[in-house]
């Protein structure tokens, strides 16, 4: 029998501490007006000093398990996407596994920066499709605030911390819905346009996030619209067949231009970046959880998830909720 993955539940967690644009402008040469106009961001959440990526991930995972009616003991795979792991090793996923009381199956991290959630979803879906996993947790979790250069106004105003998770259940291929398909891509020639200038092997420091914003912006619109067009074509679907686009949240102008480029109404785009800013691998499950929670996304809706990030990496996934 062949299998596929159904999204059984989703959940999210945001740290309590809110930092508004106004607050940033007290210590940085920036303004609420500039940030809102150029990005669409009003505020972001920042993890407390003693709050680690794994702590955010566990809270999101628990919420997703509860929402999906799945027990932690049923989980046999945890794939966690993060660019800000608790430690260089072991994988943050193993800490999450232990905190959830899971002692079977496998847990590992995926590193594809802002595209991490799409990559993780693809990996977990493939495990389910080949019959190696029955119930998987896919998590995007970040404490990106820890790798920001808080004196660099070009990057520090753009990001926030948070976590989101989904539970995948193995179902027979013939069943309606679930993950229809995923496409992931990378092109390492562009890694210096968005990178961290540190790491255990290169500098033995953690380093700070560096970005050539304008260049990244241009590639983001081109790459995300092209992978969306490809995945719709692969599934013989038109943009108008989509009920919702749940994109990685980097910049409101990127979201609008990408939607416009593929011919999708911006009313179908789920936007959370005004309150979350760019939470890297966490942004898609955070947005998904919000739109499912407030009733916008309903059973049977066709969703496209898409992201682009450092590497460059990018990708999209089509899901029937
Ligand atoms: O998640 C991974 C993917 N990441 C992204 O997709 C981010 C993509 N890039 C962007 O979102 C945008 O390029 C930014 C929001 C980062 C920048 O917007 P921009 O319209 O491309 O502005 P810019 O970098 O061209 O800067 C315009 C001006 C510059 O001043 P001068 O040189 O014209 O005098 C910057 O120094 O705005 C200045 N500036 C700021 N001013 C106030 C840059 N950052 C700020 C700031 N506050 N925070």
Q: Is the CB–ligand 1 distance for residue 254 below 6 Å?
A: yes
For residue 147, the CA-to-ligand 1 centroid distance in Å is 18
Length in residues, the chain: 321
Q: Which residues, 6+ apart, have CB-to-CB distance to 316 below 8 Å?
A: 118, 182, 183, 224, 227, 228, 230, 231, 304, 305, 306, 307
Find tokens 């009313």 and name the residue.
267
User: What's residue 313's pLDDT?
Assistant: 98
134 is known as an active-site residue: no
Given 114, 135, 208, 251, which residue is catalytic?
A: 114
Residue 144 phi/psi, 5-degree rounding, is: -65, -20
Q: Along the 321 residues of the chain, how does pLDDT read in single tens digits? A: 899 999 999 999 999 999 999 999 999 999 999 999 999 999 999 999 999 999 999 999 999 999 999 999 999 999 999 999 999 999 999 999 999 999 999 999 999 999 999 999 999 999 999 999 999 999 999 999 999 999 999 999 999 999 999 999 999 999 999 999 999 999 999 999 999 999 999 999 999 999 999 999 999 999 999 999 999 999 999 999 999 999 999 999 999 999 999 999 999 999 999 999 999 999 999 999 999 999 999 999 999 999 999 999 999 999 999
Complete domains list, the chain, with CATH: 3-172 (3.40.47.10), 178-320 (3.40.47.10)
219 is known as an active-site residue: no
User: Please, what's the b/e burial string for 173-204 (b: 16 or more CB within 10 A of its CB; e: otherwise)?
Assistant: eeeebbbbebbbbbeeebeebbbbeeeeeeee
The contacts found for 234-243 with CB under 8 angstroms, 24 or more apart, are 234/181, 234/183, 235/180, 235/181, 235/318, 237/302, 237/318, 239/263, 239/264, 240/264, 241/302, 242/268, 242/302, 242/303, 242/304, 243/268, 243/297, 243/298, 243/301, 243/302, 243/303
Q: Is the CB–ligand 1 distance for residue 115 below 6 Å?
A: no
Q: Is the CB–ligand 1 distance for residue 321 below 6 Å?
A: no
Q: Which residues, 6+ apart, have CB-to-CB distance to 307 below 8 Å?
A: 114, 115, 116, 117, 118, 224, 247, 248, 283, 284, 313, 314, 315, 316
For residue 144, the CA-to-ligand 1 centroid distance in Å is 18
Given 122, 135, 251, 278, which residue is catalytic?
A: 278
Mutate to test the pocket of ligand 1, among 213, 278, 307 (most ligand atoms within 8 A of CB): 213
Mutate to test the pocket of ligand 1, among 154, 218, 253, 284 (most ligand atoms within 8 A of CB): 154
Mutate to test the pocket of ligand 1, among 19, 214, 281 (most ligand atoms within 8 A of CB): 214
Nearest CA to ligand 1 atom 25: 214
251 is known as an active-site residue: no
| CA–CA separation, 75 and 8 (whole Å) | 12
Q: Is the pTM higher than 0.95?
A: yes
Strand ranges across the sheet with 3-13: 3-13, 162-172, 135-142, 77-81, 106-110
| CA–CA separation, 201 and 92 (whole Å) | 19
User: What's residue 1's pLDDT?
Assistant: 83
């Amino acid at each position: 029998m062949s299998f596929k993955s159904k999204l059984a539940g989703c959940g999210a967690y945001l740290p309590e501490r809110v930092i508004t644009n106004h607050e940033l402008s007290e210590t940085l040469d920036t303004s609420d007006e500039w940030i809102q106009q150029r990005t669409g961001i009003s505020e972001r959440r920042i993890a407390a000093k003693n709050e680690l990526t794994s702590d955010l991930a566990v809270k999101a995972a628990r919420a997703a398990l509860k929402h999906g009616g799945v027990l932690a003991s049923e989980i046999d795979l945890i794939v966690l996407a993060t660019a800000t792991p608790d430690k260089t090793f072991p994988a943050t996923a193993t800490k999450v596994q232990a905190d959830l009381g899971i002692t079977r199956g496998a847990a590992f991290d995926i590193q594809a920066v802002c595209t991490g959630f799409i990559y993780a979803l693809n990996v977990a879906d493939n495990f389910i499709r080949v019959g190696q996993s029955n119930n998987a947790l896919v998590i995007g979790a970040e404490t990106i605030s820890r790798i920001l250069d808080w004196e660099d106004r070009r990057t520090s105003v753009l990001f926030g911390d948070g976590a989101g998770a989904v539970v995948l259940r193995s179902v027979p291929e013939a069943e309606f819905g679930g993950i229809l398909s995923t496409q992931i891509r990378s092109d390492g020639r562009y890694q210096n346009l968005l990178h961290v200038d540190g790491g255990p092997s290169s500098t033995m420091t953690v380093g700070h996030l560096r970005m050539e914003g304008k260049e990244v912006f241009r590639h983001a619109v081109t790459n995300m619209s092209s992978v969306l067009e490809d995945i719709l074509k692969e599934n013989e679907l038109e943009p108008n067949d989509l009920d919702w686009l749940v994109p990685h949240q980097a910049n409101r102008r990127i979201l609008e231009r990408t939607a416009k480029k593929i011919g999708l109404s911006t009313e179908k785009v789920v936007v959370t970046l005004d309150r979350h800013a760019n939470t890297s691998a966490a942004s898609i499950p955070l947005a998904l959880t919000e739109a499912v929670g407030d009733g916008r996304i309903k059973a049977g809706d066709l969703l496209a998830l898409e992201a682009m990030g450092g590497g460059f990496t990018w990708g999209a996934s089509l899901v029937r909720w």
